[in-house]
Structure 1
Amino acid sequence: MVAFLPVLSALFGWVYTLAWSLSFYPQPLLNWQRRSTSGTTADFPTINVVGFAAYFVSNLAFYYSPVVRSQYAARHNGLTPTVAFNDITFALHALVLSLITTSQYLLRPLWGFEPSPGTRPSRFVTGIIAGSALGVLITCLIVATTTTTPSSSVDPATDWCELDIVYAVGYVKLLVTLVKYSPQILANFRNKSTRGWSIWQILLDLIGGLLSLAQLGIDSYLQHDWSGVTGNPVKLALGNCSLVFDTIFIVQHYLLYRGKEDSDEEQRLLPEEDRRHRD
């Protein structure tokens, strides 16, 4: 059974990568089908761009940088990071799809979409982005000051080093995940409907979150050290956050606002005046 676990871990890794990757298609496709972004806000795709850019950079460092990997080993009992190649491919793909989706809001005329509210990021989201950039910059300055101190050599196990910059960039993704769903949850609450927000992206995201946590647990078990989990807090938190927020959206769609959303076909059949009133 133990010999099968590495195969199961790899399988879970690629399946959750596929599920999470596919989750980025339903929303832009729905927007394109409706020729509108009404019912959704620009906050979610915009902050996703920042989050997945940070996730991509941190995964690259963990996977390819000898310096970062050696510093990680010094701080985590000689273990290597649990980042896999599929994490990198997922992050890059997610970044590209997030950029495409964001363009549907920020560059609406190029897509030929109808005018709708919420096509610019809120001050809350722009503040999160600015604060994240400031946090990474401060970390870089601290590391630069530490590594240029001539009094003693830097010990990665206890001192500030390049690994902390990578962690800071990774924590940007964590912060984004903690806040990015909130504007859409509030929008659904105000509209008393999930119309315009694709539930398929949520269902695929839920599958990805479950399998991501399962893979992380298997990898740590195989290493006989749960610092494989604690040493990659971003991946752990991503899976848990996905489960919590996905559950909220599923409750909104299937329980709270069930039957309160019109299909696109119904909308097209309504007189223009009634359609404006419902929107």
Structure 2
Amino acid sequence: MAAGFLPFLSGLFGWVYFICWSLSFYPQSILNFSRRSTSGTTVDFPLINCLGFSAYLASNFAFYYSPLIRAQYGARHHGLTPTVAFNDVTFAAHGLLLCLVTTSQYFFPRAWGFSPSIGTRPSRFILGIFVGCVAGVALVVFVVLGSPERSNYEGASSSWLWLDAVYAVSYVKLIVTLTKYTPQLIVNYRNQSTVGWSISQILLDFSGGILSISQQGIDSYLQGDWSGITGNPAKFYLGNVSMIYDLMFITQHYVLYRGAEGKAEETDSLLGSSTDEEARAA
């Protein structure tokens, strides 16, 4: 009975976390639309999220659909298959679409009927992460192209394979997750408020993170090998890192700045105050 229940529970957790994480993309764009403004938030978060989910979609697609990548994964991990499920691919595609929609609210405010806002310029910090991630993946792809065994289905562990390029792409999502929340945390701190930043997306994200890790743990237990986690580190660490940041936002919203309406002059960017003043003067 337990053997039949755990696969069902894994599938249930997978779709529920898919729903939670998918719904988490809507509150911010809806809040922006209802306020007719993106003030109090920064474009850094949705912009770098576009890169992260592009990478997440590409790596999940490869792990789920590519016979070559699945064969090379199995050769390195005792004949097992990747723990990426169809709902992972669906979630990544949906997430990318919603990130593009939210980002458009910052870059094209007039099209949305929004009031002009300051936080429409990405910070150097986020631009650096963006360029660094793209350059890193390009470097790994270049190295793989120079490996004569790159398309080997046997997957020699000492050689550079296309699997390694897919891992490099998946790590982009992890790097993005490690950094994407930082600008908004700083903006909330400067404003001494979370006004404009939707807490609903954070609560949904936190719930999805717990269920995502739980599903991966169940799948690894059923396979009798924890390489289901070590073989797909992006998915595992993605859930853990997201939850840590979620707890920080929850603390800001419900404890540190509870009921705060923010400063009269809100800061919408990770850029210095002088930049904000120049933008206002312009």
Helix, strand or coil at the partner of 2:197: coil
Aligned to 1:268: none
Measured in 2, the distance between the counterparts of 1:88 and 1:156 equals 27
Aligned to 2:201: 201
Aligned: 1:239 with 2:242: no
Number of equivalent positions: 264
Alpha-carbon distance, 1:117 to partner: 1.3
Aligned: 1:33 with 2:34: yes
Measured in 2, the distance between the counterparts of 1:156 and 1:112 equals 56
Measured in 2, the distance between the counterparts of 1:148 and 1:243 equals 39
CA deviation digits over 1:18-56, x for unaligned, max 9? 000000000000000000000000000000000000000
Compute the TM-score of the two structures, normalised by the length of structure 1: 0.92
The worse-fitting range, judged by mean Cα deviation, of 47-56 and 140-149 is: 140-149
Aligned: 1:173 with 2:190: no
Measured in 1, the distance between the counterparts of 2:228 and 2:93 equals 23
Alpha-carbon distance, 1:116 to partner: 1.5
Alpha-carbon distance, 1:160 to partner: 0.5
Identity of aligned residues (%): 61
Q: How does 1:182-261 map to 2 (within 5 A)?
A: 182-261=182-261
Aligned to 1:265: none
Measured in 2, the distance between the counterparts of 1:228 and 1:148 equals 24
The answer on whether the counterparts of 1:209 and 1:242 sit within 8 Å (CA) in structure 2 is yes
Aligned to 1:59: 60
From the superposition, tell whether residues 81 and 180 of structure 1 become closer, same or farther in structure 2 (CA, over 3 Å).
same
Aligned to 1:129: 130
Aligned to 2:85: 84
Measured in 1, the distance between the counterparts of 2:203 and 2:261 equals 18
The answer on whether the counterparts of 2:178 and 2:241 sit within 8 Å (CA) in structure 1 is yes
Alpha-carbon distance, 1:215 to partner: 0.2
The one-letter amino acid paired with 1:209 is G
Alpha-carbon distance, 1:158 to partner: 2.2
Measured in 2, the distance between the counterparts of 1:156 and 1:51 equals 29
Alpha-carbon distance, 1:250 to partner: 0.2
Aligned: 1:16 with 2:8: no
The answer on whether the counterparts of 1:178 and 1:241 sit within 8 Å (CA) in structure 2 is yes
Runs (4+) off by over 2 Å? 152-158, 276-279
Alpha-carbon distance, 1:115 to partner: 1.4
Which 5+ residue runs of structure 1 have no aligned equivalent? 263-275
Measured in 2, the distance between the counterparts of 1:146 and 1:10 equals 38
Measured in 2, the distance between the counterparts of 1:103 and 1:56 equals 20
The one-letter amino acid paired with 1:186 is I
Alpha-carbon distance, 1:153 to partner: 10
Alpha-carbon distance, 1:154 to partner: 7.7
The answer on whether the counterparts of 1:146 and 1:154 sit within 8 Å (CA) in structure 2 is no
Alpha-carbon distance, 1:95 to partner: 0.2
Alpha-carbon distance, 1:110 to partner: 1.1
Compute the TM-score of the two structures, normalised by the length of structure 2: 0.91
Measured in 1, the distance between the counterparts of 2:264 and 2:26 equals 29
Measured in 1, the distance between the counterparts of 2:5 and 2:246 equals 30
